[in-house]
A and B are shown apart, each in its own frame.
Chain A
Amino acid sequence: MNKRSDMAKQHEGSRLFGYATHFIFIVYSLICVIPVLLVVSVSLSSSESITNFGYQLIPETFSLSAYSYLLKDPTELFRAYGVTVVVTATGMLLSLAIMTAYAYTISRQDFKAKNFFSFYIFFPMLFNGGIVPFYIIYTQYLGLKNSLWALILPGIVNSFYLLIMRTFFQTTIPSALIESAKIDGAGEFRTLFQIVIPLSLPILATVGMFTTLGYWNEWFMSLIFIDVPSKVSIQYLMYKTILNVQYLLQHNSSMSGSKSLFDLPTESIRMAMCVMGMAPMVVVYPFFQKYYVKGLTIGAVKG
């Protein structure tokens, strides 16, 4: 009797525990999502609504005027998207190409200098010269100020990803396979392209995804290297707009021409800019996230 009521109590307890767990996650999920919704909501608020009630989760009166101003002359916005897309695509493809070649080589057991070249990649993870010499080399010696290469080159080799790739090659590509390709007369390049790469698609997809996210969200290199409007990326355009909505407006003839700045819904334009900037990421996110998590567990192997 006593024992049964004990078990019932325990059962009751674990049910309560289950509810509490769901409650915690529901609350925290809302904490993750509501701030994003607040930005969207402000971008859809009318100026009067913002002046009278401030930023609200559900605006008093809706208005699409911020978006119609932004999209009336979207040159600025589209150019920024263009810069980000070009930098991200070029950077990701080049990065995968050269890192694969390097990682494959140092993964080869029969490569004599593999220890030296592994250490060459590893050491920068421990010690770096800092941004000051880096900045001076890029601007004074390579002349990359205001060049898109200054946005691409810094992120092109990542020691950590490269070592993950090396470990993948070491553990999944049998050296007997490479050996037999060699016996069949395949050269090094042919072995890499026709045998190793087709077997390595999971790790290439994973690192490609990490790199894409890195380039897409990158703004620091623009901050130090770019000061011409034509090479402003989407993140950098957002950065400039939050400090000064006028930045967006002064380059935009349709906005500054017809009306004075005071009539413009500057508050909602600012947030609309943010929504336009984060929209692509939020749209691909559910898909992206799923594979990203899978990739993280591939990457969990030791470098």
Chain B
Amino acid sequence: MIRSLKLQWPLYILLLPTFIVVLVNSYLPMFGVILAFKEYNYSDGIFGSPWAGLDKFAFLFNSSDAWLMTRNTLGYNIVFILLHLIIAITFAILLNEIKQRFFVRTYQTLLFLPYFLSWVIVSYIGYSFLSGEHGFINSFVLEKLGMKPINWYSEAKYWPFILPIFSVWKDIGYATVIYFAAIIGFDKEYYEAAVIDGASKWKQIRFITIPLLKPVVIMLLLLQIGRIFYADFGLFYQVTLNSGMLYDTTTVIDTYVYKAMMSVGDIGMASAAGLYQSMVGFLLILGSNWLVRKINKENALF
């Protein structure tokens, strides 16, 4: 590398800005994980603060919070992965059956719209439906059905149903476009041959499209499993309006870390929970990549 530095120094200048940014954004925080083993105080800094050993972890895993946020993070992610998979593949296959380009483009444009809205805007949309006082659901739907209004933002039991709806609503357009792009790349000859043999639409889907989609699905699925310990912070923080009464069903690791750090100011607990997430997340990514490699080396991330 020293010799290369001498010979190819202009290339190193090109590398430098990104190298520094990544050092600050990613590598310094990696060393900062030692915070989880420290009694942090602002005046002594990360390295000067006294050690606390495993106290923070002991405290975290003895509290009910650790189980709660792990259960929620995993539970929601499994539901999201399955819902996205089924709905997006169905939509992509159906979109492929529409032959008029105008309709394909129009539907795709409308389905993709929510993906471009920020979680803050989605929280407004949620509020316009769920607000206890004036929300559309309470003042129109439940009213018409002759039911009592519900305080959505203080009743935790409804959120395991509400959150998947918002997750699907916002992100299904993206997933549909990915699968649709894969499907239109398939060789048309398979379908032409099937039509000559008299195969019905359903049989074409069942015996051509789905088997051809399998590698794409498996790869995306394993990538998502590698990220299963990370929740979408925007969904759980903005759409719930950070309502404390929804704690039991809406606390995920990401929101727990944020609240411990910013509201409670407990840097030690926050970084212990954060390190727990990083470590398990790391193992899951390694594991799922190992699986992809076993199935098909070409598709492996590394």
> Interface of A with B (CB < 8 Å)?
10, 13-14, 17-18, 21-22, 24-25, 28-29, 31-33, 35-36, 38-39, 42, 50-51, 53-57, 97-99, 101-102, 104-106, 108, 111-113, 116-117, 120-124, 126-137, 140-142, 153-154, 156-157, 162, 187-189, 192, 213, 216-220, 223-224, 235-236, 238-239, 242-243, 267, 270-271, 274, 277-278, 281-282, 285-286, 288-289, 292-293, 296-297, 300, 302-303
Contact = CB atoms under 8 A, between A and B. Distances in A.
Counting chain B CB atoms within 10 Å of each CB, the highest count among A104, A235, A293 belongs to: A293
Interface residues of B, number: 95
Nearest to B26: A124
Interface stretch (B64-72, B73-81, B127-135, B207-215): B127-135
Contacts of B274: 129-133
A60 B98 CA distance: 39
B30 A39 contact: no
A104 B138 CA distance: 56
A36 B98 CA distance: 26
Contacts of B59: none
B125 A36 contact: yes
Nearest to B302: A122
A126 B29 contact: no
B181 interface: yes
Nearest to B114: A32
Contacts of B270: 132
A50 B109 CA distance: 32
A98 B25 CA distance: 15
Interface of B: 1, 3-4, 7-8, 10-11, 14-15, 17-19, 21-22, 24-33, 35, 40, 42, 45-46, 91, 94-95, 97-98, 103, 106-114, 116-121, 123-125, 127-129, 131, 133-136, 138-140, 143, 169, 173, 177-178, 181, 200-201, 233-234, 238, 241-242, 257-258, 261-262, 267, 270-271, 274-275, 277-278, 281-282, 285-286, 299, 301-302
B116 A289 contact: yes
Nearest to A21: B94
